[in-house]
């Protein structure tokens, strides 16, 4: 796809529902008794993979656009899948479902696409094995496909070496089926949607500092869930409105959970004109309308505890750094290497192509911003967040951006280009 600047961005937009929360609404709905009704569900390919996995285990799910009904069968109501479970491109599906599968009285195999089959799964295999789950990597390379034989789990206190909501959620979900309490302590707090939503469905989940714990065998009851807009999708429009001169955009109903709002804090530190309007709650999740006006940005250092709260936004933050005056440093973000692509390598390569002075480091990058940048051919490696980040860069560059494999945006934002063009006026 060819993209270039046409006009300032103006107007309002409701970005699609949050990906993490959409996945969890299906998973927890399936494990609850009775109907769970979800509004503003994300219809991206990743969340559809989660729906299809639960259908394979006997759960009736009716999806009409963004409205989804899940007819839950309770904690012990899943049936053995007839075939291999396919998580597509979705790490959340593989890792969270592995925790659930570890508690089932049947064997299952879960895998996904070429990217998923390269992503590290030892991080969940280690704690699940400590809980006495029988889980193995079929190719013995620490990656999917994973074979999981469930049952007889033991509660543990797991000290996770990584701040990862997928690891934490996997262990807590296995904890639903364990003997005794299960606890997870992480080095820095990661997104807490599982804790909030499991509690909303009736589980006894407690948090203290960076430790979350769960009491096994709760009675989960189906609920109504209204999914807030995804701040990780909003991030592209926030960045575009900041970078394209004379823009003013209002994003409606975006989730601003403090374990996810790091990008907003970084933008403000870079000098961004961002205002919250109409702050409210959607179930357990805080949300707001966000008003963004074009701003002159300066570089920032992004490191430490803020990293997990903006981990998926770092590609587009790097784009902001490229256009900002001065130096932007990203560190403590080695996790970027094991996302849908190696995002340190892919971002630095593509930023160099558009003329940016950027250097990869072991756990991030250093960007010397403010040079005039130009369009180039972008190799996205089929990573949705890389494609959307360079679509934003296209609007602030000289010339045309040629984004390869641009349709990978369907993973998290099927209408991304349409929504972006609708704001150009």
Asked if 48 contacts 56 with a C-beta cutoff of 8 angstroms, the reply is no
Site track for ligand S3P across 33-72, x = CB under 6 A: ----------------------------------------
Tokens for 47, please give them: 């969340």
What three-state secondary structure class fits 33?
strand
**Contacting residue, 166, 182, 223, 253, with ligand S3P by CB under 6 A:** 166
Least Å from the CB of residue 87 to ligand S3P: 12
Contact between 330 and 303 (Cβ < 8 Å): yes
Q: Which is nearer to ligand S3P, 87 or 297 (CB)?
A: 87
Of 289 and 313, CB closest to ligand S3P:
313
- Nearer of residues 46 and 406 to ligand S3P, judged by Cβ: 46
CA dihedral 333, 334, 337, 340 (to 10 degrees): -50
Q: Which of 165, 178, 241, 347 binds ligand S3P (CB under 6 A)?
A: 165
User: Least Å distance between CB 309 and ligand S3P?
Assistant: 11
CA-wise closest residue to 31 among 194, 211, 259: 194
The SS3 of residue 311 is helix
Least distance from ligand S3P to the Cβ atom of residue 247, Å: 27
Return all residues near 205 (Cβ < 8 A) that are at least 6 apart. Answer: 172, 195, 198, 199, 212, 213, 214, 215
| Residue ranges of E strands in 294-400 | 301-302, 326-330, 357-361, 364-369, 377-378
Give the tokens for residue 137.
């990597």
Which range binds ligand S3P by CB under 6 A, 103-111, 160-168, 276-284, 286-294?
160-168
Q: Which is nearer to ligand S3P, 20 or 182 (CB)?
A: 20
Residues 183-222 that bind ligand S3P (CB under 6 A): 190-191
Options 55-63, 161-169, 257-265, 326-334: segment touching ligand S3P (CB under 6 A): 161-169
Find the binder of ligand S3P among 300, 307, 311, 354 (CB under 6 A): 311
Q: How far is 226 from 214, CA to CA, in rounded Å?
A: 24
Among 230, 261, 289, 312, binds ligand S3P (CB under 6 A): 312
Is residue 287 a contact partner of residue 229, using CB atoms and an 8 Å limit? yes
> Residue 186: helix, strand or coil by DSSP?
coil
233 scored as a contact of ligand S3P (CB under 6 A)? no
In the set 13, 15, 20, 38, which binds ligand S3P (CB under 6 A)?
20
With contacts defined by CB under 6 A, name the span among 35-43, 165-173, 195-203, 393-401 that binds ligand S3P.
Answer: 165-173
C-beta neighbour count of 241 within 10 angstroms:
29
Q: At what angle do helices 91-101 and 19-30 cross, to 10 degrees?
A: 20
CA distance 147 to 109: 4
Residue of 18, 312, 379, 406 with catalytic role: 312
At its nearest, how many Å lie between ligand S3P and the CB of residue 258? 15
Among 50, 92, 223, 341, binds ligand S3P (CB under 6 A): 92
Q: Which is nearer to ligand S3P, 98 or 294 (CB)?
A: 98
**Contacting range for ligand S3P; rule: CB under 6 A; set: 31-39, 163-171, 248-256, 286-294:** 163-171
**Contacts with ligand S3P in 338-377 (CB under 6 A)?**
none
The SS3 of residue 44 is coil
Task: For the CB of residue 99, give the shortest distance to ligand S3P in the complex, in Å.
Answer: 11
Q: In the Cβ-directed half-sphere of 190, how many Cα atoms lie within 13 Å?
A: 20
- Neighbour-count burial for 350-368, b at 16+ CB within 10 Å, e otherwise: bbebbbbebebeebbbbbb
| Burial (CB count <10 Å: 0-12, 13-18, 19+), residue 329 | middle
Q: Are 373 and 354 in contact (CB under 8 A)?
A: yes
Q: What is the pattern of x (binds ligand S3P, CB under 6 A) and - over residues 98-137?
A: ----------------------------------------
User: Among this protein's residues, is 18 annotated catalytic?
Assistant: no
* Chain residues that interact with ligand S3P, rule: CB under 6 A: 20, 92, 164-166, 169, 190-191, 311-312, 335
Catalytic residues, by residue number, are 312
């Amino acid at each position: 796809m060819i993209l270039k600047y046409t006009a300032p961005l103006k107007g309002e937009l409701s970005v699609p529902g949050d990906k993490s929360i959409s996945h969890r609404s299906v998973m927890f709905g399936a494990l609850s008794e009775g109907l769970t009704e979800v509004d503003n569900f994300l219809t991206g390919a990743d969340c559809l993979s989660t729906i299809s996995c639960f259908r394979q285990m006997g759960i009736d799910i009716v999806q009409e656009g963004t409205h989804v009904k899940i007819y839950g069968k309770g904690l012990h109501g899943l049936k053995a899948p007839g075939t291999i479970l396919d998580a597509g491109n979705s790490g959340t599906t593989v890792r969270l479902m592995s925790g659930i599968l570890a508690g089932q009285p049947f064997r299952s195999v879960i895998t996904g696409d070429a990217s998923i089959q390269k992503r590290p799964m030892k991080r969940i295999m280690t704690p699940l094995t400590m809980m006495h789950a029988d889980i193995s990597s079929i190719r013995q390379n620490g990656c999917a496909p994973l074979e999981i034989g469930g049952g007889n789990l033991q509660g543990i206190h797991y000290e996770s070496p990584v701040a990862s909501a997928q690891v934490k959620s996997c262990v807590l979900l296995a904890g639903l089926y364990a003997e005794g309490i299960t606890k997870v302590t992480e080095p820095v707090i990661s997104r807490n949607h599982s804790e909030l939503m499991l509690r909303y469905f009736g589980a006894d989940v407690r948090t203290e500092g960076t430790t979350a714990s769960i009491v096994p065998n709760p009675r989960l009851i189906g609920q109504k869930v209204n999914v807030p807009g995804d701040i990780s999708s909003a991030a592209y429009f926030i960045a575009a409105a900041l970078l394209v001169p004379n823009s003013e955009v209002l994003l409606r109903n975006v989730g601003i959970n403090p374990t996810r709002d790091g990008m907003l804090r970084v933008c403000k530190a870079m000098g961004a004109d961002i205002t919250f309007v109409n702050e409210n709650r959607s179930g357990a999740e805080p949300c707001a309308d966000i008003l963004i006006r074009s701003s002159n940005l300066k570089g920032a250092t992004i490191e430490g505890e803020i990293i997990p709260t903006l981990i998926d936004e770092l590609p587009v933050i790097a784009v902001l750094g490229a256009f900002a005056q001065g130096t932007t440093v990203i560190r403590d973000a080695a996790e970027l290497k094991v996302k849908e692509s190696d995002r340190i390598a892919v971002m630095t390569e593509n930023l160099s192509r558009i003329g940016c002075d950027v250097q990869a480091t072991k756990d991030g990058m250093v960007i010397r911003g403010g040079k005039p940048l130009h369009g180039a051919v972008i190799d996205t490696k089929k990573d949705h967040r890389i494609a959307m980040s360079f679509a934003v860069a296209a609007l602030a560059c000289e010339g045309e951006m040629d984004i390869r494999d641009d349709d990978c945006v369907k993973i998290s934002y099927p209408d991304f280009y349409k929504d972006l063009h609708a704001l150009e006026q």
